[in-house]
Amino acid sequence: MTMTQKKEISGAAKIIDGSALAKRLRASIARHIEVLVEDHKIMPGLAVVIVGDDPASQVYVANKHKLAEKAGMRSFVHALPKNTSQDEVLKLVKSLNAQKKVHGILVQLPLPKQIDADTVLKAIDPLKDVDGLTIENMGRLMAGLPGLIPCTPMGCVLLAKEALGQNLTGLHAVVIGRSSLVGKPVAQLLLRENCTVTVCHSRTPQLPHITRQADILIAAVGKAGLVRADWVKPGATVIDVGINRLADGSLAGDVAFDEVSGVAGHITPVPGGVGPMTIACLLGNTVVAACRQNELTVPHIS
């Protein structure tokens, strides 16, 4: 379903246009890159490692590469065959850690079964961990210290602030999902915004009763159409992180969009919501990483 079709279907809810917000964010990033290049002769460099031929991963990596170059940074794509060993991936990551032209490293997940993702992520220099998934960066997020923040959670919070006028203080946020990729870090970011945060998961009893209390509802479980209209408080802001491939090949989120858009105050579409923001935040993290590695003031990208 296209963005235009979603706008036509939406009832009470206003669509939070992640594509438009991401475009503005990328423009801001491009301006900061111009300053880095002109004033400091530094061009941020992003290296992406992809192993195998997963179709969705191939699309994601191609988009990252295109948008990184469009923003004015170097983009290095290392595409490895599906049978690549873990030792070979680790060797590549360590090589990228040492390359001065590479300021950010992202290993595209999922990885083939012979490679342990945790082991690979641990090998990334935390200063270059632009996905924010190393233990050090996750720990700094928990402690409220400066670090590189996971991209999808950052995008979720920016979308909520776009819908609600930037100030989230005092709002009740409910997160469905407790993964280290989205659920846990987005809860920490919402706490930073002075929200009251409830994290739910597969073992949470009476889940719809809890979600109906949310001023901000973030769904990140990977189950198409899980969140229905009667799960949502009227007027709530709903952020749908899910990207699920249906039998007919179309994409659907974790939220039943047609139903929920008639109840929510604001809602993100799938596609066109969280996805574009994830890539924009990745590019922003690369600029932040380049500044920190060169002991420059970190710009506020918005």
**Which residues does the annotation mark as catalytic?**
64, 108, 131
Burial 65-95 (b: 16+ CB within 10 A, else e): eebbeebbbbbbebebeeebebeebbebbee
CA 258, CA 260: separation in Å to the nearest integer?
6
Chain centroid offset of residue 1 CA = 21
Query: Which DSSP letter does residue 111 get?
Result: P
Query: Which DSSP letter does residue 108 get?
Result: P
Q: Residue 113: CB partners within 8 Å, gap ≥ 6?
A: none
CA 149, CA 136: separation in Å to the nearest integer?
11
Residue 15 near residue 3 (C-beta atoms within 8 A): yes
148: tokens are 């590189």
Tell me: cis bond preceding 271? Omega within 30 of 0 counts. Answer: yes
Helical H runs in the chain?
A: 3-9, 18-40, 55-71, 86-98, 117-123, 135-143, 151-164, 183-192, 207-211, 257-260, 274-293
Residue 218 near residue 246 (C-beta atoms within 8 A): no
79: tokens are 């595409």
CA 140, CA 131: separation in Å to the nearest integer?
14
Residue 73 near residue 45 (C-beta atoms within 8 A): yes
Helix (H) or strand (E) holding 17: none
